[in-house]
Structure 1
Amino acid sequence: MPKKNARSRTAAPERPCPCGSGGSYADCCGALHRGREAAPTAERLMRSRYSAFAVGDAEHLLRTWHPSTRPASLELDPRQRWTGLEILGGTGGGPFHTEGTVEFRARFTEGGRASSLHENSRFVRVEGLWTYLDALD
């Protein structure tokens, strides 16, 4: 999934958010990417991380990765185009929880071929903020 990429794809603020929420990028995941808001739930963080892949925001991905599993650096593959997100379920992860899971399917194309990633991700709070820990088997 992650590969070398020094460039970032930016989403126009008024365009629909890549996460599929129905809101504009600026008012949805863009606010989290810029640090204007913190994710109130694990699902919201997961959506912002998907959108970060879609717009090429490796900094947001690293900033929201749990310190124990965070890579030293992350370069995204510019050939991947993230094309859709489907939330399949989850546990915990609410405003008053300290951990949770989000199961999702993310669609993408690479080299003209359509594919998808299915994952059940674990999230935990660090100093009150949601972070991505890892994927469950």
Structure 2
Amino acid sequence: MKFSPNDNCFCGSMKKYKKCCKTFHDKITFPKSALELMKSRFSAFALCNSEYIIFTTHPNNCDFTQDLKSWHSDILNFSKNTRFEKLEILEFIDDEVESFVTFKATLFQNKNDISFIEKSRFLKVEGIWKYVDGEFIEEEKK
């Protein structure tokens, strides 16, 4: 996939990537809230940026491993085989140390809809937000 820093960011901000999540991905600045981290992680997955995903994952996360080669490979495999269509923020509960973001990720693998809703938990560790875990939420049928 060809992607330019002048393209709109995947996080849904409607800003150019270079003025949005790229500054986080390049570690020029760090997300000031768990919401910013959530959005920047979605963009990182869409851009196959496994290093950022690993950097922003809390050690208590079940995917966290010292086997970085395998972890990078798993993230890249998922990212390369997934189309990241849209991120919708449904709820944001902000606090100074622990925050929650409920979101809907619209994703496709091949032509299969693998979209989901998750309530994610984030902790601030030494001034940097990290993704700890998430709970899938059943989507209400209309």
Q: TM-score range by the shorter chain?
A: 0.7 to 0.9
Q: Which of residues 34, 39, 43 in structure 2 aligns to 1:42? A: 34
Q: Residue in 2 aligned with 1:92?
A: 94
Q: Which aligned pairs between 1:124-135 and structure 2 lie closer than 5 A?
A: 124-135=123-134
Deviations 1:81-134 (A, max 9, x none): 1110000002124xxx11100000001111122331210000000101100000
Deviations 1:53-80 (A, max 9, x none): 1111010000000122223423232221
Higher relative contact order (Cα pairs below 8 Å, separated by 6+ residues): 1
What one-letter code is carried by the residue in structure 2 that aligns with 1:30? K
| TM-score, normalising length: structure 2 | 0.83
* Unpaired segments ≥5 residues, structure 1: 1-8
Tell me if 1:71 matches 2:65.
yes
Q: Residue in 1 aligned with 2:15?
A: 23
| TM-score, normalising length: structure 1 | 0.85
How many aligned residue pairs are there? 126
CA contact (8 A) 1:10 1:56 kept: no
SS of corresponding position for 2:27: coil
Larger Rg: 2
Give the distance between the partners of 2:45 and 2:54, measured in 1 at CA: 11
Q: Residue in 1 aligned with 2:101?
A: 102
CA contact (8 A) 1:103 1:120 kept: yes
**Which structure 1 residue ranges, 4+ long, deviate > 6 Å from structure 2?**
none
Q: Residue in 1 aligned with 2:6?
A: 14
What root-mean-square deviation, in Å, do the aligned CA atoms of Structure 1 and Structure 2 show? 1.5
